[in-house]
């Protein structure tokens, strides 16, 4: 699928490493097809030694050789780093951005390029279990969209959306989602310790409960596929589950989750605006 395609990662951070590791593991690309570029020579050398990829410290030089230019940098660095690439990207290449809050129009303005895919992955991509929501500008060809799907499937699953606003919404729901899950798990573990379990046992009970619950929902064998129906299966009238759920509802559990996700969505949109107005770093 990506035979003969050169991929340049601008910003060789954790997510970039997860992506290139997935590409190599699934043999969608060979090490010599992958370029990584960043200001830290030690990090570049680390990835070169680990995966055999080609290191650069000159972003323009790396981008000019690529068919896919992956922007994996922080929003605060976007103005300077993406601006440096203007005029360096090949006309028939496309940009694949995972910059939080960065709109296609903003990336196009800074880079002078119109073939742009915008993505929102999440951290489980680091173990090949991520979910990535993505969209593409009109100039991205059907073949390039197919390439994007294969690329993103290398480190998890992918969902294409037509409307770009879904990317900010996905940032709040799935991009930030692991943080909510970990906080919920942490609270359950702490409650287990308060009950008297050793922390190690409480952690294992919580992890396996979440894993089993998700697998049960996802295996297709359950008749009740609506989450409320699954919850009702373990909620007997007057029982322990009913009592616990009553207190969660009384404490505003649903409202807190809803407001948190909405706040994350608003912040994602703010980050895009901040990135446009933040002065370049010295």
Three-state SS at 278: coil
**Separation in Å, CA 176 to CA 79, 86, 90, 102, 121:** 23, 31, 33, 16, 10
User: For 63-67, 78-82, 211-215, 265-269, which range has the lowest pLDDT when averaged over its residues?
Assistant: 265-269
For 220, half-sphere exposure in the C-beta direction (CA atoms, 13 angstrom radius) is 0
Pair 70, 43: CB distance under 8 Å:
no
CATH superfamily of 7-162: NAD(P)-binding Rossmann-like Domain (3.40.50.720)
Residue 221 has pLDDT above 70, yes or no: no
Annotated binding site: 10-15, 59
Q: Where are the domains of the chain?
A: 7-162, 177-267
Query: Cα–Cα distance between 273 and 108 in angstroms, integer?
Result: 15
Q: Please tell me the predicted confidence (pLDDT) of residue 89.
A: 97
C-alpha to C-alpha distance for 216 and 224, rounded to whole angstroms:
10
- The predicted pLDDT at position 218 comes to 86
Residue 224 has pLDDT above 60, yes or no: no
The correct CATH number of 177-267 out of 2.40.160.40, 2.60.120.10, 1.10.3730.10, 3.30.70.20 is 1.10.3730.10
Task: Flag whether pLDDT at 236 surpasses 80.
Answer: yes
| Residue 42: C-alpha distances to residues 37, 54, 57 (Å) | 12, 13, 11
Look at residue 278 in the predicted model and tell me its pLDDT. 46
What's the pLDDT score for residue 163? 94
Q: Kindly state the average pLDDT of the residues 188-213.
A: 98
Average pLDDT of the chain is: 92
pLDDT at 279: 40
> What is the tens place of the pLDDT at every residue in 125-160?
999 999 999 999 999 999 999 999 999 999 999 999
For residue 280, the model assigns a pLDDT of 37
Per-residue pLDDT at 274 exceeds 60: no
Q: How confident is the model at residue 183 (pLDDT cuts 50, 70, 90)?
A: very high
H, E, C per residue of 109-166: HHHCCCCEEEEECCHHHHHCCEEEEEEECCCCCHHHHHHHHHHHHCCEEEEECCCCHH
Asked if residues 145 and 136 have their Cβ atoms less than 8 Å apart, the reply is: yes
What is the DSSP code (8-state) at residue 244?
A: H
Degrees to nearest 5, angle at CA 133 with 157 and 30? 55
For range 211-229, the mean pLDDT: 81
Whole-angstrom Cα distance, residue 20 to residue 42? 18
List residues forming the annotated binding site for NADP(+): 10-15
pLDDT in the model for residue 76: 86
More confident residue, 273 or 196: 196
Binding-site residue ranges for NADPH: 59
């Amino acid at each position: 699928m990506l035979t003969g395609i050169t991929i340049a990662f601008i910003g060789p951070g954790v997510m970039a490493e997860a992506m290139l590791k997935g590409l190599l593991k699934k043999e969608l690309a060979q090490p010599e097809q992958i370029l990584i570029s960043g200001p830290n020579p030690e990090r570049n050398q680390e990835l070169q030694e680990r995966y055999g990829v080609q290191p650069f410290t000159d972003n323009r030089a790396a981008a000019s050789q690529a068919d896919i230019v992956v922007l994996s940098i922080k929003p605060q660095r976007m103005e300077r780093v993406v601006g440096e690439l203007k005029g360096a990207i090949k006309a028939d290449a496309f940009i694949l951005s995972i910059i939080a809050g960065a709109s296609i129009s903003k990336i196009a303005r800074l880079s002078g390029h119109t073939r742009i895919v915008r993505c929102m992955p999440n951290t489980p991509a680091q173990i090949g279990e991520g979910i990535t929501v993505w969209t593409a500008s009109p100039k991205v060809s059907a073949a390039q969209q197919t390439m994007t799907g294969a690329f993103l499937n290398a480190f998890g699953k992918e969902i294409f959306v037509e409307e770009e606003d879904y990317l900010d919404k996905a940032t709040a729901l799935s991009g930030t989602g692991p943080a909510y899950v970990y906080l919920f798990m942490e609270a359950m573990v702490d409650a287990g310790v308060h009950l008297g379990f050793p922390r190690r046992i409480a952690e294992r009970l919580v992890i396996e409960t979440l894993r089993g619950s998700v697998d049960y929902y996802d295996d297709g064998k359950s008749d009740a596929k609506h989450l409320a129906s699954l919850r009702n299966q373990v909620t007997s009238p007057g029982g322990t589950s009913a009592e616990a759920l009553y207190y969660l509802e009384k404490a505003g559990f649903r409202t807190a989750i809803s407001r948190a996700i909405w706040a994350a969505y608003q912040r994602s949109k703010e980050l895009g605006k901040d990135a446009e107005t933040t002065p370049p770093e010295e």
